[in-house]
Amino acid sequence: HFLPDAAAAAQWLGKTPPAFDVLEAELAGRDYIFGDYTIADMAMYPHVAAQRDGLSAFPNVERWEQRLRLRPEVGRGMSAVSR
């Protein structure tokens, strides 16, 4: 699934991402924001990765960030962004 519900994804795709506590709650019991990997995960990842050192208070977010970091396409995308 690329985008399950545009209205539900709106908060994850905005210029100002939700706070980590919101993401933490959303990831409770899930591997990805909507359960499956979607554009919402892709959009949020750079914001989270930039603050990777401050994730210890958010274990669900920390696991999610680690999971996404291991995806080859995420590495390629982040390389393209950092050029």
| Residue partners of 35: CB distance under 8 A and separation at least 6 | none
The whole-number average pLDDT for the span 53-69 is 95
- Helix %, strand %, coil % for the chain, to 5? 60, 0, 35
Reported pTM: 0.80
Q: Is the pLDDT of residue 47 over 80?
A: yes
Q: Is the pLDDT of residue 55 over 90?
A: yes
Q: Minimal CA–CA distance to 3: which of 41, 29, 31, 48?
A: 41
1-46 pLDDT, tens digit each:
555 666 777 766 666 678 899 999 999 999 999 999 998 898 899 9
Neighbours of 31 (CB within 10 A): 14
Tokens of 57: 């208070």
The whole-number average pLDDT for the span 54-64 is 95
φ/ψ of 34, rounded to 5, equals -105, 20
